[in-house]
């Protein structure tokens, strides 16, 4: 799965991800002698993934010292790179790409960085296309709790969803609505695709917004349903990136010509 970002420091490298979820100050959080971050995460010869840097400009020279000591990473991936990390990577000849959705990268992944193109290739993952249809009535959104009969995300809240098979996404969304709810629906909008990571799968979600009337007739895929205010998605135990998928479809609807 190739992710396109912004090229910061050139070069190509492949390696195993060492990821932390917090911002990193190379002066203080990283030991240049051992290559340990926060006293526990080893980054030697890794692809070091973290959201962004912080702290003193001396951090650039700590990155250089890591390189000289042979305790530093092969490459760096950020959500957002600031000047300290960018300067350190450049003077140390460490490939660096930012503007990457690091939620799609997990600790231990094998990845390839192309620093000139600003690309990150996550190796050994499967990309799975699915559709998610959000059904609305007045100001309410229909959420479904997935049953134990489904293969994935048992017990999670979701929209009407299904694997993209031989049909185009819109056709598949209409099929899923018919099979899972038996409701008449009217298309309101198609959102931009959303990527979500779960295990070795990256789900490419094709989101749609439909208006409906009446109450659904549930099939075996869902055990219950609720009409809720859309923002309630954020407080539910949902399938990955459900709120982002809804926001994508809603934005498209509100910004139609």
Contact 77, 49 (CB under 8 A): yes
pLDDT above 90 (res 165): no
pLDDT tens string 54-66: 999 999 999 999 9
Q: Which two structure tokens, joined as six digits, stand for 211?
A: 């208006």
Give the separation between CA 7 and CA 96, rounded to whole angstroms.
7
Residues tagged active-site = 56
Contact 62, 88 (CB under 8 A): yes
Confidence of residue 225 (pLDDT cuts 50, 70, 90): very high
CATH of the domain at 164: 3.90.79.10
Asked whether residue 140 falls in the same domain as residue 225, the answer is yes
Residue span of the structural domain in which 102 resides: 2-122
CATH number at residue 36: 3.50.30.10
Does residue 203 contact residue 166 with C-beta atoms inside 8 Å? Answer: no
Instruction: Give dist(CA 70, CA 188) in Å, integer.
Output: 56
Question: For 88-115, what is the mean pLDDT?
Answer: 98
Looking at 122, 139, 167, the residue that finishes a domain is 122
Query: Where among 67, 92, 122 does a domain terminate?
Result: 122
Number of domains in the chain: 2
- Within this chain, do residues 140 and 239 fall inside the same structural domain, yes or no? yes
Contacting residues for 148 by C-beta, under 8 A, at least 6 apart: 154, 155, 223
The pLDDT value recorded for residue 181 is 97
d(CA 115, CA 100): 12
Mean pLDDT of the chain: 96
């Amino acid at each position: 799965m190739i992710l396109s970002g912004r090229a910061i420091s050139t070069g190509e490298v492949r390696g195993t991800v060492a990821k932390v979820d917090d911002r990193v100050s190379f002066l203080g959080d990283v030991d240049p002698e051992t290559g340990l971050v926060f006293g526990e995460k080893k980054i030697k010869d890794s692809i070091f993934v973290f959201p962004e840097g912080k702290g003193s400009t001396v951090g650039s020279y700590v990155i250089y010292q890591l390189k000289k000591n042979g305790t530093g990473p092969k490459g760096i991936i950020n959500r957002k790179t600031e000047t300290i990390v960018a300067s350190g990577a450049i003077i140390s000849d460490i490939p660096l790409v930012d503007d990457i959705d690091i939620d799609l990268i997990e600790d231990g992944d094998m990845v390839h960085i192309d620093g000139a193109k600003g690309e990150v290739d996550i190796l050994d993952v499967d990309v799975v296309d699915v559709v998610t249809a959000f059904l609305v009535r007045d100001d309410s959104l229909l959420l479904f709790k997935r049953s134990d009969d489904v293969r994935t995300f048992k017990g999670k809240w979701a929209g009407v969803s299904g694997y993209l098979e031989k049909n185009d996404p819109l056709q598949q969304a209409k099929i899923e609505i018919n099979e899972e709810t038996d409701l008449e629906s009217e298309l309101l909008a198609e959102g931009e695709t959303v990527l979500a990571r779960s295990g070795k799968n990256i789900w490419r979600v094709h989101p749609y917004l439909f208006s409906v009337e009446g109450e659904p007739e549930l099939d075996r895929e869902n055990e219950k349903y609720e009409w809720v205010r859309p923002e309630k998605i954020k407080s539910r135990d949902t399938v990955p990136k459900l709120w982002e998928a809804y926001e994508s479809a809603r934005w498209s609807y509100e910004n139609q010509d």
